Chain A
Amino acid sequence: MADNFKNSKKPIKASIWKSVKVGLIAFASMVIIAYGFEITQVDLEELRSEKRQESLVRVTRALAKPDLIEYDKEEIIFNAPVMIPCPATSMDLPEPNLNQPYLLVEPACGAPGDVVAVKGYNFAPNSEGPLRFVPGSDPSNVVTLGRDVVETDANGHFEAEFTLPKREGEGVQFIRASLQRNVGSPHLTRTAYDTWDKIVETVFLALLATIFGTALAIPLSFLAARNLMKPVKSPLTKAAMSLLGWPIGAVIGYLILVRIGQLSDLIGTNLWINLLTVAVSGGLVTLGLRYAVPESEEEEKVSFGTRAKRISLVIGAVFFLFLGIFQLSTLMRTLGMTLEGSLGKFGFIGYFLFQAGDIFGLSAPFVGALTAGATLGSMLGKVGQKFSETLPSSTLRIINAFVATLAVGITFMLIGFLIEWLYEIGNPVYTLWYPLGIGGALGLAMALLTKPNEALPVGMVIYTITRTMLNALRSVEALVMAIVFVIAVGIGPFAGVLALGLHTIVSLAKLYSEQVESILPGPLEAVEATGANRLQTIVYAVIPQIVPPYISYTMYRWDINVRMSTIIGFVGGGGIGFLLQQNINLLNYRGASAQMLAIAVVVASMDYISSVLREKTI
Chain B
Amino acid sequence: MLEIKNLTKIYPGGIKALDNVSFTVPDGQFLAVIGLSGSGKSTLLRCINRLIEPTEGQILWNGKDITAASVDEMRKIRRHIGMVFQHFNLVHRSKVITNVLAGRLGYVNPAWSLVNRFPKEDMEKAIAQLERVGIADKANSRADELSGGQQQRVGIARALMQDPEMILADEPVASLDPVLAHSIMTHLEDINKKDGVTVLCSLHFLDLVHRYSDRVVALNAGKLVFEGDPKDIDDVKFKEIYGREAERVG
Binding site for B on A (CB under 8 A): 293-297, 385, 389, 520, 522-523, 525-533, 535-536, 539-541, 544-545, 547-548
Residue of A nearest to B122 (CB): A296
A532 to B105, CA, bound (A): 5
Q: Do A545 and B105 form a contact, CB below 8 Å, given A293-B112, A530-B78?
A: no
Interchain residue pairs A-B with the least CB separation, the first 4: A531-B106, A532-B105, A522-B89, A526-B89
B90 with A523: CB separation less than 8 A: yes
Q: Do A532 and B102 form a contact, CB below 8 Å, given A385-B71, A541-B91, A544-B94?
A: yes
Residue of B nearest to A532 (CB): B105
Residue of A nearest to B69 (CB): A389
A520 to B94, CA, bound (A): 14
- B1 contacts the other chain (Cβ, under 8 Å)? no
- B211 contacts the other chain (Cβ, under 8 Å)? no
Nearest CB of chain A from residue B107's CB, rounded to whole Å: 6
Interchain CB contact (< 8 A) of B79 among A520, A531, A547, A548: A531
Residue of B nearest to A541 (CB): B91
Give the interface SS of chain A, mostly helix, strand, loop or mixed.
Answer: helix
Interchain CB contact (< 8 A) of A531 among B76, B85, B116: B76
A297 to B85, CA, bound (A): 27
Size band of the B side of the interface? 35 or more
A525 with B70: CB separation less than 8 A: no
Residues of A contacting B78 in the complex (Cβ-Cβ under 8 angstroms): 528-531
Residue of B nearest to A290 (CB): B112
Nearest CB of chain B from residue A177's CB, rounded to whole Å: 72
- B49 contacts the other chain (Cβ, under 8 Å)? yes
Residues of A contacting B113 in the complex (Cβ-Cβ under 8 angstroms): 536, 539-540
B108 with A545: CB separation less than 8 A: no
Residues of A contacting B76 in the complex (Cβ-Cβ under 8 angstroms): 531
A537 to B158, CA, bound (A): 15
B102 with A527: CB separation less than 8 A: yes
Residue among A526, A530, A533 with the highest chain B CB neighbour number at 10 A: A530
A215 to B119, CA, bound (A): 29
- B81 contacts the other chain (Cβ, under 8 Å)? yes
Nearest CB of chain B from residue A437's CB, rounded to whole Å: 34
Residues of A contacting B109 in the complex (Cβ-Cβ under 8 angstroms): 293-297
Residues of B contacting A540 in the complex (Cβ-Cβ under 8 angstroms): 91, 94, 98, 102, 105, 113
A545 with B85: CB separation less than 8 A: no
A385 to B74, CA, bound (A): 14
Residue of B nearest to A527 (CB): B102
Residues of B contacting A539 in the complex (Cβ-Cβ under 8 angstroms): 113-114, 116
- B130 contacts the other chain (Cβ, under 8 Å)? no
Further contacts, 12 of them, CB under 8 A, given A297-B106, A544-B93: A295-B108, A385-B70, A525-B51, A526-B83, A526-B155, A530-B162, A531-B77, A531-B106, A532-B102, A535-B110, A540-B105, A544-B94
0 or 1 for each of B209-228: is its CB under 8 Å from A? (1 = yes) = 00000000000000000000
A530 to B107, CA, bound (A): 9
Residues of B contacting A528 in the complex (Cβ-Cβ under 8 angstroms): 51, 78
Residues of A contacting B82 in the complex (Cβ-Cβ under 8 angstroms): 530
- B87 contacts the other chain (Cβ, under 8 Å)? yes
B49 with A529: CB separation less than 8 A: yes
A389 with B70: CB separation less than 8 A: yes
A531 to B98, CA, bound (A): 16
Residues of B contacting A530 in the complex (Cβ-Cβ under 8 angstroms): 78-79, 82-83, 102-106, 158, 161-162
Interchain CB contact (< 8 A) of B90 among A385, A526, A535, A536: A526
Residue of A nearest to B161 (CB): A530
Residue of A nearest to B70 (CB): A389
Residues of A contacting B114 in the complex (Cβ-Cβ under 8 angstroms): 535-536, 539
Nearest CB of chain B from residue A237's CB, rounded to whole Å: 13
Residues of A contacting B77 in the complex (Cβ-Cβ under 8 angstroms): 531
A294 to B109, CA, bound (A): 7
Residues of A contacting B85 in the complex (Cβ-Cβ under 8 angstroms): 522, 525-526
A531 with B105: CB separation less than 8 A: yes
Residues of B contacting A527 in the complex (Cβ-Cβ under 8 angstroms): 91, 102, 105
Residue among A297, A385, A529, A548 with the highest chain B CB neighbour number at 10 A: A529
Interchain CB contact (< 8 A) of B75 among A523, A533, A544: A533
